[in-house]
Structure 1
Amino acid sequence: MTAGRVGTSRETVTLPILSVRHRTTYRYRRPVAFGEHRIMFRPRDSYDQRLIAATLDITPEPASQRWLFDVFGNCVAVTTFDIRAEVLTFDCGITLDHTPEHAPVFPLAPHATHYPFGYGAEDMPDLARSIERQWPDPRHEVDTWARSFLPPQGRIPTQELLAAMTRSVRANFTYLARAEKGVQDPLTTLRTKLGSCRDFAVLMMEGVRALGMAARFVSGYLYNPRNDRARHVGGGSTHAWLQVYLPGAGWVEFDPTNGIVGNRDLIRVAVARDPAQAVPLHGSFFGLSSDDLGMRVDVNVVELPTDGTTAHSLQGLPPPLAR
């Protein structure tokens, strides 16, 4: 029995097996030396996404490579290099079985069906840091934006509140692919109504936290059938969204870039309290700043035949973990 398809009150539909190809290439004006690189390309095994196979090919070949779980349970490859090169390439291939939730209605605990609600004493020690605001908001602009989704009086269904916030970003903000590293200040995102997927995720995280709910950042991939831009934006590269902790349902996905509630078309790789803790690839080189000719990221997510064949082997990666 495949977890997540039987014995749940959430309505699910099974997609074909998905294949992800993720290539990141760095180019330099002359051969440079490389420092340690940390790679977070491997998806998290769960009841709704099962990793079947994966490869990780790095050129030039690393001097060493090891694997670890970070503080959030994300799988991280750590590599070192002992040769210089003008090009550094990380090429990852992934095959996984993804079970999306169709029109999700999450089974919330009775006390959490309507906002405001509180978390239990047993959960608060683990959730407290995910409730804390991380960005300055001296004029309470993000707080005011978040509270604009609340009724003037009384309570509101929790799922209705979060869905409205998610879809408002999709409807009223403009997606802008940014090559710059890091995340835009959520106040800038709110004022300009422009940003990348990670910027929208951080804005909604801060809004949710302003309402006293726990939220965390998610990095991964977006599945966009037939590259339909009318359906989704943010494909062709890594993607970002957020999770909110709801009593009775656990961590629930929200993608404000595309107005998605639930895990439909979303492939999780890493979760973290802070976006800086979920960077897909982080490393350094030794040389002049003028040596850096830039980076290119290419991501392609496609369906595979469901005849049991797979596109990738397990070479270079530890075996999938049963959970």
Structure 2
Amino acid sequence: MAILTVRHITTYHYKRPVGFGEHRMMLRPRDDDDQKVLEAELEIWPKPSHIYWTRDRFGNHVATARFAERASELRFESTIRVDHAPADFPASAIKDFARTLPFSYAEEDGPGIERFIAPLYPHPEVDRWATGFLREDGSADTGALLVDMTQTIRRAFRHGARHEKGIQAPVRTLELASGSCRDVAVLMIAALRSLGLAARFVSGYLHLGDDDDDCLTGGNTHAWVQVYVPGPGWVDFDPSSGMVGNQNLVRLAVVDEPQDAIPLQGAWIGSASDHLAMRVAVKVSAAANVGAASGVPAAARR
């Protein structure tokens, strides 16, 4: 077990005071078997006129803020503390019927699994790339294929930030042999679904192991993949790092379509030239104890 603390600050700067439309936030991590939220605090400047919390159909926490004030700066500061239990991929726990591909999911694997098998950005080139992980007879060891695909993407693709909005089509990621974490995650999901495996998009944070708590480094917003494997259940695979399991990963949201997992989105009202900059800073650190001070007013706690 480890206690991870995440500070995530997003600041929008404008030339003059502007109005703000509704803003949707996915900044509170999920409560899953291997991670539990101990504390979640959110401070917003200027103060919203109204904020309410809901859960979407996947159980993700969603906050929506509305504003009455105009301002030249809009700032969101989220501080969360999570009890995190690292988990590997126990291939030996895979149920017998699912140890070799292809296989069909059983009814008891849960309702809604079909939505995570539905094709994502289908393309013949993606299908062809996916079948390259199969034996000549079209079969494969399920556990070995998942690990092989994760590590192949890590080795064969260039990884880096891509600042354009949206997701790069998987076939384009194949053509370029490069992409951001979200791009290679979507490629892996598209490939796995073409093979009949249930896979979903995960957004969250990556702990980089930097212990310097005085600066907002040592972490990143991140994207990776979860695959439903009969027996172990939902297992994390990070094609950007080649890692298998949830080590150093904190989940914010799981979705079937990546556009539904944007951490923060909203609108502002003014001239296009009023927008100056958006800055994002993230710090993920291993906390010494649960009671450590967070530096965020208790009034903002939920």
TM-score band by shorter chain is over 0.9
- The one-letter amino acid of 1:213's match is L
Tell me the CA shift for residue 123 of structure 1.
4.4
Question: Is residue 2:139 matched to residue 1:147?
Answer: no
Give the conservation status (yes or no) of the 8 Å contact 1:175–1:194: yes
* Alpha-carbon separation, structure 2, partners of 1:37 and 1:170: 34
Tell me the secondary structure at the aligned position of residue 143 of structure 1: helix
- The one-letter amino acid of 1:311's match is A
Give the conservation status (yes or no) of the 8 Å contact 1:19–1:311: no
Give the conservation status (yes or no) of the 8 Å contact 2:5–2:287: yes
* Alpha-carbon separation, structure 1, partners of 2:42 and 2:97: 45
Give the conservation status (yes or no) of the 8 Å contact 2:23–2:265: yes
* Alpha-carbon separation, structure 2, partners of 1:158 and 1:94: 35
Tell me the CA shift for residue 204 of structure 1.
0.3
Aligned pair in 2 of structure 1 residues 123, 50: CA closer, same or farther (>3 Å)? closer
Give the conservation status (yes or no) of the 8 Å contact 2:37–2:82: yes
Tell me the secondary structure at the aligned position of residue 119 of structure 1: coil
Question: Is residue 2:224 matched to residue 1:238?
Answer: no
* Alpha-carbon separation, structure 2, partners of 1:149 and 1:127: 23
- The one-letter amino acid of 1:50's match is K
- Equivalent residue, structure 2, for 1:198: 182
- Equivalent residue, structure 1, for 2:275: 292
- The one-letter amino acid of 1:298's match is A
Aligned pair in 2 of structure 1 residues 31, 160: CA closer, same or farther (>3 Å)? same
Tell me the CA shift for residue 68 of structure 1.
0.4
Question: Is residue 2:241 matched to residue 1:258?
Answer: yes
**TM-score of the two chains, using structure 1 as the length reference:** 0.86
- Equivalent residue, structure 1, for 2:214: none
RMSD: 1.9
Give the conservation status (yes or no) of the 8 Å contact 1:21–1:93: yes
2:82 to 96, 112, 129: 96
What pairs up with 1:69-80 in 2 under 5 angstroms?
Answer: 69-80=55-66
* Alpha-carbon separation, structure 2, partners of 1:52 and 1:106: 32
- The one-letter amino acid of 1:153's match is D
Give the conservation status (yes or no) of the 8 Å contact 1:106–1:249: no
1:64 to 46, 50, 71: 50
What pairs up with 1:67-146 in 2 under 5 angstroms?
Answer: 67-102=53-88, 104-105=90-91, 107-123=93-109, 126-137=112-123, 140-146=124-130
* Alpha-carbon separation, structure 2, partners of 1:113 and 1:214: 14
- Equivalent residue, structure 2, for 1:316: 300
* Alpha-carbon separation, structure 1, partners of 2:195 and 2:276: 43
Matched length: 295
Aligned pair in 2 of structure 1 residues 274, 317: CA closer, same or farther (>3 Å)? farther
Aligned pair in 2 of structure 1 residues 106, 51: CA closer, same or farther (>3 Å)? farther
Structure 1: give runs of 5+ residues left out of the alignment: 1-13, 228-233, 319-323
Which structure has more strand as a fraction of its residues?
2
- Equivalent residue, structure 2, for 1:37: 23
> Which range moved further: 272-281 or 243-252?
243-252
Structure 2: give runs of 5+ residues left out of the alignment: 212-216
* Alpha-carbon separation, structure 1, partners of 2:116 and 2:138: 26
> After superposition, what is the alpha-carbon deviation per residue over 1:114-140, rounded to whole angstroms, capped at 9, x for unaligned?
111111245475111211113141xx1
Give the conservation status (yes or no) of the 8 Å contact 2:209–2:218: no
* Alpha-carbon separation, structure 2, partners of 1:283 and 1:263: 30
Identity of aligned residues (%): 48
- The one-letter amino acid of 1:66's match is Y
